[in-house]
C-alpha cells in the first residue's frame, strides 16, 4: 500500500488543486528521505502524472518532483500527528503524512531517474494502450520466477502490489506459485484481462482502505474496493466464486503474504 489505484485516486484529486500553482516552500526535517526539495521552490506545477506507484509533479524549468508513497504515505488537506512534509502553495498547504516513514521524495531534472532505479526499468502501464497481450505474454515466457513475484517486480507490468496481484490471480484462476513461463496462452489472456478489470474497478472505488486505515483519500474519505475483495485478506472465508465451495488460505510467496483459493487456483493446470 498504496498501489496503483490508491496513487491514481490521489492524483485525480490533487491535479485540479496543483495545476498552475507555484510551490512556495517545501518544509520538512529529513533531507535524506526528501531530497533537493529546495529545487522545486518558486516553480509552477505544469502537470501531475502517475507512473506505476509514483506520483510525478512536472515543474516549470524542466524539473520534476517524484514522490513514492511507500507503505503508508499520503496527502491530507489538514495536518495530523504523522505529517512529515508540508507543501506550501498560495492560499493553502498540502500535508504529506507517512506513519511508517517509507515514503520518499526526489526533485530531479525531468527524466533523470538514475537514483530512482525502479522508474528506469518499469514495465507498461496496465490501463494504457502500451500494455498489450502479446508483450505481456512475451515477458512471462522469459522468466522462471513465480507469477506472483513477476507481478510484484514491476517489469512485466507497472503498479501492482500485494492486494491487486492476489485479486487478479484469483480472478484468472492462477496459483500464485506457478512459474510464469508455464502459463499457457489462455491463462495469460485471462490474467491480462483480470489485471485490467481489477484495476479499473479499484480506481472507480477510490482504492482499498484496510483495517489499519493507512490509506485514505486526501479529504479523509476511505476507498471502498476492500468491500469487493475476493481473495486479499479473506483468510478462512468461503471462496466467492460461484460453485467453487473452497476456502481462502494464506501462504507466503517471495516473502509476501498471499491469498488464494486452492480449489479454483490449483498449483498445476
- Is 155 one of the catalytic residues? no
Q: At what angle do helices 162-172 and 185-204 cross, to 10 degrees?
A: 130
CB 176 within 8 Å of CB 260: yes
CA dihedral 124→130→133→134, nearest 10 degrees, is -100
- 178 annotated as ligand-binding: no
Evaluated on CA atoms 112, 115, 116, 121, the torsion sign reads positive
- d(C-alpha 105, C-alpha 33), whole Å: 6
- Is 256 one of the catalytic residues? yes
- Is 2 one of the catalytic residues? yes
Query: Within 10 A of 129 (CB to CB), how many other CB atoms are there?
Result: 7
- d(C-alpha 251, C-alpha 258), whole Å: 5
Q: Which of 43, 50, 53, 146 is catalytic?
A: 53
- 44 annotated as ligand-binding: no
Q: Which of 230, 250, 256, 263 is catalytic?
A: 256
SS3 107: strand
- Is 5 one of the catalytic residues? no
Partners of 122 in the β-ladder: none
Q: Which of 2, 124, 126, 176 is catalytic?
A: 2
Distance between start and end Cα atoms, the chain = 31
CB 167 within 8 Å of CB 198: yes
Q: Which of 3, 6, 8, 167 is catalytic?
A: 3
* Residue positions forming the annotated binding site for DNA: 82, 100
Residues annotated as part of the active site: 2-3, 53, 256
* Residue positions forming the annotated binding site: 82, 100
Amino acid at each position: 500500500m498504496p498501489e496503483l489505484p490508491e496513487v491514481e485516486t490521489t492524483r485525480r484529486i490533487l491535479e485540479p488543486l496543483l495545476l498552475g500553482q507555484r510551490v512556495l516552500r517545501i518544509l520538512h526535517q529529513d533531507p535524506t528521505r526528501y531530497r533537493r526539495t529546495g529545487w522545486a521552490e518558486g516553480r509552477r506545477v505544469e502537470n501531475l502524472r502517475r507512473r506505476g506507484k509514483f506520483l510525478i509533479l512536472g515543474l516549470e524549468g524542466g524539473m520534476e518532483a517524484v514522490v513514492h508513497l511507500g507503505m503508508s504515505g499520503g496527502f491530507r488537506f489538514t495536518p495530523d500527528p504523522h505529517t512529515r512534509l508540508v507543501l506550501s502553495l498560495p492560499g493553502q498547504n498540502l500535508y504529506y503524512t507517512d506513519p511508517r516513514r517509507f515514503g520518499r521524495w526526489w526533485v530531479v531534472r525531468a527524466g533523470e531517474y538514475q537514483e530512482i532505479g525502479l522508474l528506469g526499468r518499469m514495465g507498461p502501464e496496465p490501463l494504457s494502450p502500451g500494455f498489450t497481450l502479446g508483450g505481456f505474454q512475451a515477458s512471462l515466457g522469459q522468466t522462471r520466477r513465480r507469477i506472483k513475484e513477476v507481478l510484484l517486480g514491476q517489469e512485466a507490468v507497472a503498479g501492482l502490489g500485494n492486494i491487486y496481484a492476489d485479486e487478479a490471480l484469483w480472478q484468472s484462476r492462477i496459483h500464485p506459485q506457478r512459474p510464469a513461463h508455464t502459463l499457457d496462452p489462455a491463462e495469460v489472456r485471462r490474467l491480462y484481462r483480470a489485471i485490467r478489470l481489477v484495476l479499473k474497478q479499484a480506481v472507480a472505488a477510490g482504492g482499498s482502505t484496510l483495517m489499519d486505515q493507512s490509506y485514505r483519500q486526501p479529504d479523509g474519505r476511505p476507498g471502498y474496493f476492500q468491500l469487493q475483495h475476493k481473495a486479499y485478506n479473506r483468510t478462512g472465508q468461503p471462496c466467492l466464486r460461484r460453485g467453487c465451495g473452497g476456502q481462502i488460505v494464506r501462504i507466503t510467496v517471495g516473502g509476501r503474504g498471499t491469498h488464494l483459493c486452492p480449489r479454483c487456483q490449483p498449483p498445476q493446470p
